[in-house]
Amino acid sequence: MHKTIFISIIFISLFALSCASHNTKYDNPATWNHFNIYAHTEDAPIFKQLQIDLGISPLMESYLLTVDLRNLQNEFVILGGENNSGSKTFSWSTLSKNVQDGLLKYTGSNKEKL
C-alpha cells in the first residue's frame, strides 16, 4: 500500500514538473520564434537600430514588427505586420547580430507570441 502511494506521488510530481517546464517555455518571450513587437524607439535602442539596419528613412517612432524564425531556410521580419498590405518583408540576416539578439531576448509587454 505504501509503495503504491509512493509511486503515485513520484508519477504526479514528474507530470507536474513536465507541465511546468512546457508552460515556462511558452510563457518566456525570449524563447519564441514567431512573434509581434509593437515597437517604440523610446523602449529600447534596438528599435531605432533595426530601422537603420533596414535603411528606413525617415525613422519612425513606433511600428509593428513581425519576426518569423520558424523555417531556418526562410527567416524574416515584416515591418508593418503580417496582415497589412503595405508591409515590407526583410531577411532576418539583414539585421545586425546586436539587433537580432536584442529582438530575441526582448521581454517587454509589447511582445506577443503568434
- pLDDT digit string (tens) for 2-18? 555 545 455 454 444 44
CB 61 within 8 A of CB 41: yes
- Which pLDDT value is given to residue 31? 94
For 43, the domain range is: 32-113
77 and 93 inside one domain: yes
Instruction: Check pLDDT > 90 for residue 98.
Output: yes
Instruction: Check pLDDT > 80 for residue 49.
Output: yes
9 and 63 inside one domain: no
CA 89 distance to own-chain centroid: 17
How far is the C-alpha of 33 from the C-alpha of 101, rounded, in Å? 12
45 and 87 inside one domain: yes
- The pTM for the full model equals 0.76
101: Cβ contacts below 8 Å, ≥ 6 apart: none
52 and 92 inside one domain: yes
Our count of domains for the chain comes to 2
In order of 8, 9, 13, 49, 110, the CA distances from 18 in angstroms are 15, 14, 9, 39, 28
Of residues 81 and 88, the one with the higher pLDDT is 88
C-alpha cell at 108: 517587454
In order of 21, 24, 47, 100, the CA distances from 113 in angstroms are 17, 13, 18, 17
